[in-house]
Structure 1
Amino acid sequence: MARLHVHLPLLLILLLISSGPKMMECARIFTIVNYCQETVWPGVTPGDNFNGGGFELKSGQSIVFTAPVGWSGRIWGRTGCKFDKNGSGSCKTGPCGTSLKCKASGETPASLAEFTLTTLDFYDVSLVDGFNLPIAVTPVNGKGNCSVAGCDADLRDTCPSELAVKSNGKVIACRSACDVFNTDEYCCRGVYGNPVVCQPTYYSKKFKEACPTAYSYAYDDPTSIFTCSGTDYIVSFCSSRKQPVCTYHDNKLVCSGSDKGLKSLITRWWALVFAVPLLLTF
């Protein structure tokens, strides 16, 4: 169930002064943030714990969810969407049919964040189905490897022309070589259906060069899948993998990056914290 859906600065201020109940230890907190200059419509499957699987996220907005251990699914961004008041419509990239709330996976090409929540979580960002938005997964407050996964480069700017998806002359997504050419070599199937035979191609290498911690083809496991225990997750669109990002856990604001980054974040918003009670009074 969604907890908040407000602009990012106000979200973090409210979280700083919140006194809500302690979250169950088995739950994972997901903070989904849109740093893009455009509106994004995230899709999630299965989406029972994520506002039914779809919602609108304007530039600078953030939304917080919780998901139980045992959840396994994917999160991606949709772009260029138009939905009516009943939640029916269409998207230029990543649509999951004609509904705002996704019941099925998004159409290719789409950048995917994938999760399996167990005692030891597994997570990754995959470009195997192509690319439509920069996306990063940042674990915070966890134990173990807990590396940042993702693709913060914008492959729409460097997409080979034969893979490019355009709208009004502008590249809006980059297809995978498998999607375009549909050969066993590019799709890692048939005699290429094992990690020994299926090796990186010209196109997957292009993806890997731009996004070294994302899956570039089906058997790109060693540098693309990560693990962490008892962590919260920040899924951010159009962010740098190195910039500090924050979430909320056990009534505390928890941020990735250095202590300096956290102190700077708190200092900038400290005056606003004093103003929030007055705003809430009115």
Structure 2
Amino acid sequence: MAALINLPHSLLLFLTLLVITTGPKLSECARIFTIVNYCKETIWPAVTPGDNFNGGGFTLKPGQTIVFSAPVGWSGRIWARTGCNFDRNGNGSCQTGGCGTSYKCSASGKPPASLAEFTLATVDFYDVSLVDGFNVPLAVTPIHGRGNCSVAGCDSDLRPICPTELAVKGNGGRNVACRSACDVFNTDEYCCRGVYGNPVTCQPTFYSKKFKQACPAAYSYAYDDPTSIFTCSGTDYVVSFCSSRKKPVCTYHNKKLMCGGSTGLRAAVGKWGMMVLALIITTALSNVW
């Protein structure tokens, strides 16, 4: 089930900042994915495999949030498509991240695209990968899990600083994405294949180092595992486009608001203020559930 939430900007701001440090134990049987568009433009997120995610494609306007549930055992990727134009039959094209001509993706998107990758099990594995390039900032925040549970992602915008030889130009000549060196040059060294197909011989390059410097919690090349892949158990996830990794986030689980991040708001408004804010937001969410 998906719930698309259109909230007034002020209420969305409360939802983003609100932090509740207690709540029910999260389910070991499913994971709630809250996908949020903080970008200034509409995006068309895609998911493969997408059976639990509206068939693999949907639209998020600026400030919109959508909620899905995925079972343990699901393994897949989530990314944003940008600059899309679809007709009423769901046929069209995208400037970046497109999966052919379909609104709902059944295959991986065309690079370059920032990818959130998940494998859900007793212990989940998740990461944000720039191995296929970059199109929008992306963060993955686990909520109330157990284990490492660090925030993964790339919250820097690589488009303005993308090397000219990797840049994808859009209307007006502005950079709309940044390709990977593998995608551009197609060599064994940049693609970590052939004699470079192992973590000993495949080392960071000039380009992957630039990606890593800007986004230290994301994969910059194929064997960038130690600082890029994270684990967590019994958690829900917030996938945020165009958001800071430090931004407090919330998800909606079992008809209750669950949040993680700074405790500043709790300290500012106190216990009863938090309860009132939680009631306001939970009521608003219930009306669109």
Report the counterpart of residue 221 of structure 2 in structure 1. Answer: 217
Contact kept? 2:26, 2:236, Cα under 8 Å: no
Q: Distance in 2 between matches of 1:55 and 1:269?
A: 32
Report the counterpart of residue 179 of structure 1 in structure 2. Answer: 183
- The answer as to 2:170 corresponding to 1:158 is no
Distance 1:4 1:262, change over 3 A: farther
- The answer as to 2:258 corresponding to 1:254 is yes
Report the counterpart of residue 44 of structure 1 in structure 2. Answer: 47
Q: 1:1-282, aligned counterparts within 5 Å? A: 1-7=1-7, 9=11, 25-168=28-171, 169-261=173-265, 270=277, 273=280
The one-letter code of the counterpart of 2:218 is A
Q: Which runs of 5+ in 2 are unaligned?
A: 17-24
The one-letter code of the counterpart of 1:213 is A
Q: Distance in 1 between matches of 2:44 and 2:88?
A: 15
What's the TM-score once normalised by structure 2's chain length? Answer: 0.87
Distance 1:272 1:255, change over 3 A: closer
Contact kept? 2:33, 2:70, Cα under 8 Å: yes
The one-letter code of the counterpart of 2:2 is A
For residue 178 of structure 1, give the secondary structure of its aligned residue in structure 2: helix
Q: Distance in 1 between matches of 2:27 and 2:278?
A: 31
What's the TM-score once normalised by structure 1's chain length? Answer: 0.89
For residue 218 of structure 2, give the secondary structure of its aligned residue in structure 1: coil
Q: Which runs of 5+ in 1 are unaligned?
A: 14-21
Percent of aligned pairs with the same residue? 74
Q: Distance in 2 between matches of 1:272 and 1:219?
A: 45
Contact kept? 1:6, 1:63, Cα under 8 Å: no
Contact kept? 1:244, 1:262, Cα under 8 Å: no
Distance 1:142 1:220, change over 3 A: same
Contact kept? 1:244, 1:261, Cα under 8 Å: no
Aligned-pair distance for 1:6? 2.4
Q: Distance in 1 between matches of 2:90 and 2:276?
A: 35
Q: Distance in 2 between matches of 1:230 and 1:245?
A: 17
Distance 1:197 1:93, change over 3 A: same
Deviations for 1:78-114, whole angstroms, at most 9, x for unmatched residues?
A: 0000111111111000000111100000000000000
Q: Distance in 1 between matches of 2:121 and 2:180?
A: 30
Over the aligned positions, Cα root-mean-square deviation in angstroms equals 2.6
Distance 1:24 1:220, change over 3 A: closer
Q: Distance in 2 between matches of 1:272 and 1:158?
A: 43
Contact kept? 2:4, 2:64, Cα under 8 Å: no
Contact kept? 1:255, 1:262, Cα under 8 Å: no
Aligned-pair distance for 1:267? 6.0
Distance 1:92 1:230, change over 3 A: same
Q: Distance in 2 between matches of 1:95 and 1:141?
A: 33
Deviations for 1:211-239, whole angstroms, at most 9, x for unmatched residues?
A: 00000000000000000001000000000
Deviates more, 1:82-91 or 1:4-13: 4-13
Q: Distance in 2 between matches of 1:23 and 1:259?
A: 20
Aligned-pair distance for 1:264? 6.0
Distance 1:112 1:264, change over 3 A: farther
Contact kept? 2:248, 2:260, Cα under 8 Å: yes
Which structure has the higher relative contact order (CA within 8 Å, separation 6+)? 2
